[in-house]
Structure 1
Amino acid sequence: MTAPGTDEIVVDRLTKQYKKLRAVDDLSFRVRSGRVTGFLGPNGAGKTTTLRMLLGLVTPTAGTATFGNQRYTDLTDPVRKVGAVLEASSAHRGRTGRNHLRMICRAAGLPDTRADEVLELVGLTPAAKRKFKGYSLGMKQRLGIAAAMLGDPQVLILDEPANGLDPEGIRWMRDLLKSLAANGRTVLVSSHLLGEMQLLADDVVIVAAGKLIRQGPVDEVLGDMAGGTQVRVRTPQAEQLTAALSELNATVNPAQDGSLLVHGAEAAAIGHAAFSAGVELHELTSERGDLEQVFLQLTAGKAGIR
């Protein structure tokens, strides 16, 4: 393994034992800078425990969780290195969003003007003078992200950041995190919204019962599992096409909607085989695997209790 970059997250043989429960079990993975990494797993998989160990909130039984080669507790200026949101923002009910952020700025030695900058970043400027007690759950999520971004950190860690957000808010979140990663930041996101993760993440780390199940770029994970890419074909001559594709060693299965799902052959090869056999085609579409399908396949029977 190559030496980690200073902004990479490195989890190395991490273990956490609670009496008879092993919440995290010899877990290792790396989160690269300049990419969004989805941290996925069923309830009880050990995701939140892992994040809490990474942020120094829980002491590992064994192993390490570091940023480059430094533990969070050893960082000289953590607010400028790492921003994290493990739950919706909490603040005094009678304090405005702006004043809440300004208090954090003063504690961290940051200028008050930074509060207005991050409020603009998360789209909360119109609600800056509104008291926290009047914030919706989605607004609290945005305020939490604003607080995490106060130090302009190079690493951002978010646990279920889309909770309470409407579809527009989820799309806003996706665009924000992608832009942060595009600017070179390291972004780790834990979420149960698998459809959103397929749109958002560059890489995924999938865990179950405290163990690593699969990691890698999303396209690679989808391609390796569930038969990889499939091609959907519609034709009034299904039997003739199936016979023609047997020469390509392709697998052909009928779908419920009357189409054929072909594995083991590219769309161009299927089209050529159909043309040579005189088979009329009404549809020829390559389809990428679905992250939810892959996730369920990988974690079946492996959910834990946290």
Structure 2
Amino acid sequence: MSDAQIVVSGLTKVYRTVRAVDDLSFAIEPGRVTGFLGPNGAGKTTTLRMLLNLVTPTAGEATIGGRRYADLEQPLRHVGAVLEASSAHRGRTGRNHLRVICAAAGLPPQRVDEVLSLVGLTPAGKRKFKGYSMGMKQRLGIAAAMLGDPDVLILDEPANGLDPEGIRWMRDLLKKLASEGRTVLVSSHLLSEMQLLADDVVIIAAGKLVTQGTMGAVVDGLADAARIRVKTPNPEQLTSALADATVATADGDELILTGVTAPEVGAAALRAGVELHELVTDKPDLERVFLELTAGKAGIR
């Protein structure tokens, strides 16, 4: 795979009085899966459309391997994109749909069978598109995106319509493609799945960058906000023994504490003679980090 870094620099899109994307900058590296996240209306789809030259930026630019998508020769050989579930003539088979794309793009016809196998649609390739489920349409869209064996793959909500087995298949496929040196950019609302899939993450809200970095760095950025969940028949006595702790919630014999570590809770309980039935550190996950970072930053479209 060649160098296929995606660079978004000062990207802005204004629709009349609405700034859908506002001076957005980030870089996506080859050989990694990057999750592109944000609330509804954050500007994710507009950004992807500008990256693919489907929407003209008001300011700034987006490049793939140092060039605009519109300037790429034979773009399907460089970039595969799925911005919505695949659409095709209802009476055409999945295989024939891909053959038409190959013919139009000057791609070798044998790629059709190769990509059908890649996405697990070989038996369904002979079926007409009108009989495809949403999950099958998603797979067909990815097959179409892979026809040119591109260096870059850009997917918007690729797991829509997939069952749990299909989502796992998608995760394994995208990780494999990234391991081959490709640049994989995925927009999704499935935060738990994204935490399993992505190496890096870019989070935007109201058209602006909120944070970016490796998945570990972004999630661990709230490590100091880890919560301690403790169950004890003497919650008031334990609270009194923890002068530096803050009680986030209290429900019967269960306390959620912040500002203190699990060893500190255990030591305080021992000194105070308080019996503990449970002591757990609830570390932040991507969903919690996402919600905290985007709180109050409503979408704008």
Q: When the two structures are superposed, what TM-score results if normalisation uses the length of structure 2?
A: 0.89
Gaps of 5+ in 1: none
CA RMSD after TM alignment? 2.4
2:53 to 41, 53, 56: 56
Task: Indicate yes or no: 2:32 matched with 1:10.
Answer: no
Matches within 5 A, 1:1-306: 6-225=3-222, 228-246=225-243, 249-256=244-251, 258-306=253-301
**Alpha-carbon distance between aligned partners in 2 of 1:15 and 1:226, rounded to the nearest angstrom:** 33
TM-superposed deviation, 1:255: 4.3
Aligned residue identity for 2:167? I
> Which moves more between the two structures, 290-299 or 35-44?
290-299
Deviations 1:121-167 (A, max 9, x none): 21111201001111111111110011111222221111111222222
Give the aligned length. Answer: 300
Taking a change above 3 Å as real, the CA distance of residues 31 and 250 of structure 1, as seen in their structure-2 partners, is: farther
Aligned residue identity for 2:266? G
**Alpha-carbon distance between aligned partners in 2 of 1:185 and 1:18, rounded to the nearest angstrom:** 33
**Alpha-carbon distance between aligned partners in 2 of 1:24 and 1:281, rounded to the nearest angstrom:** 50
Tell me if structure 2 keeps the 8 A contact 1:223–1:229: no
**Alpha-carbon distance between aligned partners in 2 of 1:255 and 1:219, rounded to the nearest angstrom:** 30
Q: When the two structures are superposed, what TM-score results if normalisation uses the length of structure 1?
A: 0.87
TM-superposed deviation, 1:272: 4.1
Fraction of identical pairs, as percent = 72
Taking a change above 3 Å as real, the CA distance of residues 301 and 231 of structure 1, as seen in their structure-2 partners, is: closer
Tell me if structure 1 keeps the 8 A contact 2:234–2:253: no
TM-superposed deviation, 1:227: 5.3
Partner secondary structure for residue 128 of structure 1: helix
Aligned residue identity for 1:23? A
Taking a change above 3 Å as real, the CA distance of residues 276 and 182 of structure 1, as seen in their structure-2 partners, is: farther
Runs of 4+ residues deviating >6 angstroms: none
Taking a change above 3 Å as real, the CA distance of residues 299 and 130 of structure 1, as seen in their structure-2 partners, is: same
Partner secondary structure for residue 126 of structure 2: coil
Aligned residue identity for 1:289? P
Tell me if structure 2 keeps the 8 A contact 1:102–1:115: yes
Gaps of 5+ in 2: none
TM-superposed deviation, 1:276: 4.7
